[in-house]
Amino acid sequence: MGSNSSRISDLPKNEYLKKLSGTESVSENDPFWNQLLSFSFPAPTSSTELKLLEEATVSVCRSLGCDSEDLLEELVCCLMQLITDIPLLDITYEISVEAISTMVVFLSCQLFHKEVLRQSISHKYLMRGRCLPYTSKLVKTLLYNFIRQEKPPPPGTHVFSQQSEGGGLLYGLASGVATGLWSVFTLGSVGSKAAATPALASPLANQSLLLLLVLANLTDAADAPNPYRQAIMSFKNTQDNSPFPSSIPHAFQINFNSLYTALCEQQTSDQATLLLYTLLHQNSNIRTYMLARTDMESLVLPILEILYHVEERNSHHVYMALIILLILTEDDGFNRSIHEVILKNITWYSERVLTEISLGSLLILVVIRTIQYNMTRTRDKYLHTNCLAALANMSAQFRSLHQYAAQRIISLFSLLSKKHNKVLEQATQSLRGSLSSNDVPLPDYAQDLNVIEEVIRMMLEIINSCLTNSLHHNPNLVYALLYKRDLFEQFQTHPSFQDIMQNIDLVINFFNSRLLQAGAELSVERVLEIIKQGVVALPKDRLKKFPELKFKYVEEEQPEEFFIPYVWSLVYNSAVGLYWNAQDIQLFTMDSD
């Protein structure tokens, strides 16, 4: 750094760095700045180089950190101005990336604390004072950076010569000075990830999204709510001409169509799915707009693909995708419309060739597959609950279920039934064993049985909801029920299921009697024809009415305990050109998702 420096080892005695960290004021027009920013060594790209750079500049950083709170606030404000005011051109692309990266570094003190920070330097400067007026403009700029997905300019158009893939001039400043500075404040030496992040199509979009998520998940200050979350909760469509209520601070408008398109296209990444969740959950304007779209398959299919490839995804990504579905299924219009969208040749669904299927039936197939995967692998009750809640929300609006979707509903019930019988048998044997020996601790089969019976009850309620509300639309489900009717006999007299079994028994017996009257050796087509005729003849008043199945997603208390570590794990794993020493990270364990 400076025209005389060609090696990192020269930096501790560099006269320009000493002047930068000194007490003497330097005019913005002073030639000093040009000299200071003259690199003659490549920007660091490895943990070893970063460690050397940090060690070489630690004295400078300490000098800058002493009695320099006004300077720090000025730095943050200047970064915000750089991000929001400089037009995005080929020659400014790197400056924008590095300004955003430096903001991420400024906020990264959270990484070095096990507990969620509720008071910090970042809260002090970002929640009030001179930075506050930039809130809505910053959030809007970051969103548009994500929407545009601008690729880096071709070589030769950089404002400064690029030394390596790791970054250019301002990357060096961010890594060498800014990160070193904040490591002094946090006592959390900034070092390196084990491996470099793979090249991204748009580093600017990636860094912008990560910074946006970090800002959105800052905890509220003691005397003020998080203004960045307020901005995310309240922004409107550019086509919405209604005035903003005076009670809504930090309001702005953005093109919802462009945002929707970007969200649909980028769902392969955790951070894009987390942004979609955040917007759907917190911004009612976005939620209303998305639910009114006539091309919901563009959004739902990428989410279903995440769940379908559950084995390859981390658990947090799966949770977010599932909760997005749960939020969408809270809307009856969505539940109706997904059965009207017909899809052809779903190539990523490999269990069976699906040449033509409705979006609703595909959603049911993928959610059931997720439940079955969870039953055999992770056994996560939270995952089960949310999957079943989404199916329950949809059940009254099931329409023209694909025969394979109907089969899988009954197959899941069959799997649960077998599991119930197995645990019941284990519990019985365990009870017998306990009578002969009091020394051996027994597994809690009663609890296992209770959990399975809860899930079975839910499945029966889902089937019952479909039969009572849309029986005439679902001959394939009736066919699947009749084909596997023996499965349900054991639950007819079970005290936990007697009430909900009444309608299912009635439907099975009614249609079974009509099939017996029609004679033996009936083809599939003839059975379906009899079912369709029988639906008209079945008196609807004979089916007992139950309360409508409706589940609403509600965040857990203190959601920041989940989301802040999650967001920072995404930053650690996905940020371009930023490296932290894994040994100093306290917020999450390095082997977590």
Please give the helix or strand (H or E) that residue 82 lies within, else none. helix 69-85
Q: Give the residue with greater pLDDT, 118 vs 569.
A: 569
Give the closest residue to 412 by CA, choosing from 377, 448, 366, 380.
366
| Phi and psi, residue 504, nearest 5° | -65, -45
Average pLDDT over residues 333-353: 94
Distance CA 183, CA 574 (A): 20
Mean pLDDT of the chain: 84
pLDDT of residue 165: 41
First to last CA, the chain: 38
Mean pLDDT, range 567-582, rounded to an integer: 88
- The predicted-structure confidence for 392-401, as pLDDT tens digits, reads as follows 999 999 999 9
The count of residues in the chain is: 593
Does residue 192 surpass a pLDDT of 80? no
Angle in degrees, 0-180, between the axes of helices 359-376 and 381-395, rounded to the nearest 10: 160
Cα-flanking dihedrals φ and ψ of residue 158, to 5°? -75, 150
Other residues' Cβ atoms within 10 Å of the Cβ of residue 410 = 21
Q: Per mean pLDDT, which of 217-226, 298-307, 512-521 is the most reliable?
A: 298-307
Q: Does the structure show a pLDDT above 80 at 590?
A: no
What is the distance between the alpha carbons of residues 35 and 193, in angstroms, rounded to a whole number? 31
Angle between helical axes of 297-308 and 256-265 (0-180°, round to 10): 30
Distance from chain centroid for Cα 269: 9
**pLDDT for 589 beyond 90:** no
**Percent over 70 (pLDDT), the chain:** 86
Nearest in space to 391 (alpha carbons), one of 414, 420, 361: 361
Q: State the virtual CA torsion across 401, 402, 403, 406 in degrees, nearest 10.
A: -40
Contact 237, 256 (CB under 8 A): yes
Cα–Cα dist 328/407, whole Å: 24
pLDDT tens sequence across 402-443: 999 999 999 999 999 998 888 888 878 777 766 555 555 556
- The model's confidence at residue 45, banded by pLDDT at 50, 70 and 90, is low
Bridge pairing between strands 253-254 and 236-237: parallel
Rounded Cα distance, 135 and 137, in Å: 6
Amino acid at 483: Y
Greater confidence (61 vs 174) lies with 61
Burial-class residue 298 by CB neighbours within 10 Å (0-12, 13-18, 19+). Answer: middle
Per-residue confidence (pLDDT) for residue 441, from 0 to 100: 53
Identify the weakest region by mean pLDDT among 77-91, 174-188, 568-582.
174-188
Tell me the pLDDT tens digit for each residue of 364-373.
999 999 998 8
Tokens of 259: 């945002």
Q: What angle do CA 66, 70, 71 make, to 5 degrees?
A: 70
Q: Quickly tell me which residue has 């400043």 as its tokens.
A: 173
Per-residue pLDDT, 438: 57
Share of the chain above pLDDT 90, in %: 50
Confidence of residue 12 (pLDDT cuts 50, 70, 90): confident
The residue-averaged pLDDT of 484-513 equals: 90
Residue 173 pLDDT > 50, yes or no?
Answer: no
For 265-297, give one letter per residue: b (16+ CB within 10 A) or e: ebbeebbbbbbbbbbbbbbebbbebbbebeebb
Sequential DSSP letters for 299-357: HHHHHHHHHHTGGGS-HHHHHHHHHHHHHHHT-HHHHHHTTT-EEE--TT--SS--SEE
Residue 20 pLDDT exceeds 90? no
Could you give the 3-state DSSP secondary structure of residue 463?
A: helix
* Amino acid letter, 165: E
Gyration radius (Cα) of the chain, Å: 30
pLDDT at 161: 45
Looking at the chain, the number of H-run helices and the number of E-run strands are 25, 4
Token look-up 């005035």 returns 243
pLDDT of residue 163: 42
pLDDT score recorded for residue 157: 59
Whole-angstrom Cα distance, residue 152 to residue 134? 26
Give the tens place of pLDDT for each residue, 270-282.
999 999 999 999 9
Is a pLDDT exceeding 50 seen at residue 171?
no
Lowest mean pLDDT among 3-7, 190-194, 312-316, 322-326: 190-194
Angle separating helix axes 227-234 and 135-148, nearest 10 degrees: 60
Per DSSP, 31 falls in state: T
CA dist 346 and 101 (Å) reads 39
For the stretch 106-145, pLDDT in tens is 899 899 999 998 888 878 888 888 889 999 999 999 999 9
Selection from 335, 465, 469 nearest residue 394 by Cα: 335
How many beta carbons lie within 10 A of that of residue 582, not counting itself? Answer: 14
Report how far residue 112's alpha carbon sits from residue 179's, in angstroms, rounded to the nearest whole number.
13
Q: Which of 155, 46, 35 is nearest to 93 (CA)?
A: 155
Instruction: State CA 46 to chain mean position distance.
Output: 30
pLDDT of residue 563 exceeding 90, the answer is yes
